[in-house]
Amino acid sequence: MTRGGSTARAAGIVTLVVAGLLGSAYVLGRSLVPDQTPPHSTGVTTSADGPHYADQPSVGEPGGTRNASASNSARPVETGQDGSGRDAGGDNLFGAHATTGSPRLALTFDDGPDPRYTPQVLALLSEYDVQATFCVVGENAQNHPDLVRSIVDAGHTLCNHSWHHDVGLGARSADAIRSDLLRTNAAIRAAVPNAPIVWYRQPGGAWTYPVVSVARQLGMTPLHWSVDPSDWELPGANKISATVLSQAEPGSVVLLHDAGGDRQGTVEALRRILPDLTARFELEALPTDPT
């Protein structure tokens, strides 16, 4: 072998050794850098029509793979002496109200207000002389203060539904939860300064002890539901109507949506169910002084 060949061979060996050392150093360096997790999903997507909300928590979110409404929304709630709540199926509600506590039935509408659907809902409720409860999202209240005023002027009750429908809010710090709820209340009161806000509904029903505790500290009673037709999944007016009419009973809190997506099916279902419900039950807006 020539001297030049020996030199080339030695250079090749050195190159391989250096490459190996550099690869090891890269792997070691990567192991020392924390994983960069993506920002927490709020369940909000946007479109030309405005925000759309995914109402149920996904796997790993507070509240489990799906909340109480996804499995059997009509299950009764058992409340212990310590005030903690757990429905009969084992889902934690941490004391959130799932019934009216009276023979009266309550219709509740989440995620609004929305300029297309909220006025239609208000018109139907007015036609049947029914008062309801509207769980409003802070960013929508800020964007549509005129609709918040219309809700209050019609005698309906307001409920805080977080700033931008953050299903994971209950997993955040108490300070973050408090900031979110106060920001939402401020947006509501910018539209209706003297309107009471005494109810809070956690998006997706993903209740945790911290979110319930902070809501109560701010003077709001946590509000769940007992009848859920899953109208957010867009099953159509027929299915929404059938679910509500078959599951409604004295004391029911019915979960519907007037925003967060295409809610025309909900509006049509409401047109169908109001004659039946008003014939069978006394419907009420939840009180503004819950005990």
Q: What pLDDT score was predicted for residue 58? A: 33
Q: Determine contact, residues 185/160, Cβ cutoff 8 Å.
A: yes
- What mean pLDDT do residues 187-214 have? 97
Sorting pLDDT into bands at 50, 70 and 90, what band is 289? Answer: confident
Establish whether the linkage from the previous residue to 113 is cis, with ω within 30° of 0.
Answer: yes
Q: What pLDDT score was predicted for residue 50? A: 61
Sorting pLDDT into bands at 50, 70 and 90, what band is 9? Answer: low
Q: What pLDDT score was predicted for residue 291? A: 59
pLDDT tens digits along 162-174: 999 999 999 999 9
Fold classification of 44-280 is: TIM Barrel (3.20.20)
Q: What pLDDT score was predicted for residue 110? A: 98
Angle, alpha carbons 280-285-286 (nearest 5°): 110
Q: What pLDDT score was predicted for residue 81? A: 27
- What mean pLDDT do residues 271-291 have? 93
- The region of weakest confidence among 13-17, 108-112, 130-134 is 13-17
pLDDT tens digits along 66-79: 343 333 333 333 33
Q: Where are the domains of the chain?
A: 1-36, 44-280
Q: Determine contact, residues 263/114, Cβ cutoff 8 Å.
A: yes
Does residue 41 carry a pLDDT above 70?
no
Sorting pLDDT into bands at 50, 70 and 90, what band is 52? Answer: low
Does residue 142 carry a pLDDT above 90?
yes
- What mean pLDDT do residues 23-49 have? 41
Mean pLDDT of the chain: 80
Does residue 61 carry a pLDDT above 70?
no
The residue among 78, 60, 191, 80 whose CA lies nearest residue 134 is 191
* Residue 137: C-alpha distances to residues 95, 147, 166, 197, 214 (Å): 22, 12, 10, 13, 17
Higher pLDDT, 127 or 48: 127
Tokens of 281: 């039950």
pLDDT tens digits along 81-125: 233 333 333 357 999 999 999 999 999 999 999 999 999 999 999
CB within 8 Å of 192: residues ≥ 6 apart: 148, 149, 152, 158
Does residue 186 carry a pLDDT above 70?
yes
**Catalytic residue set:** 110, 257
pLDDT tens digits along 223-252: 999 999 999 999 999 999 999 999 999 999
92: left (phi over 0), alpha (psi -120 to 50) or beta: beta
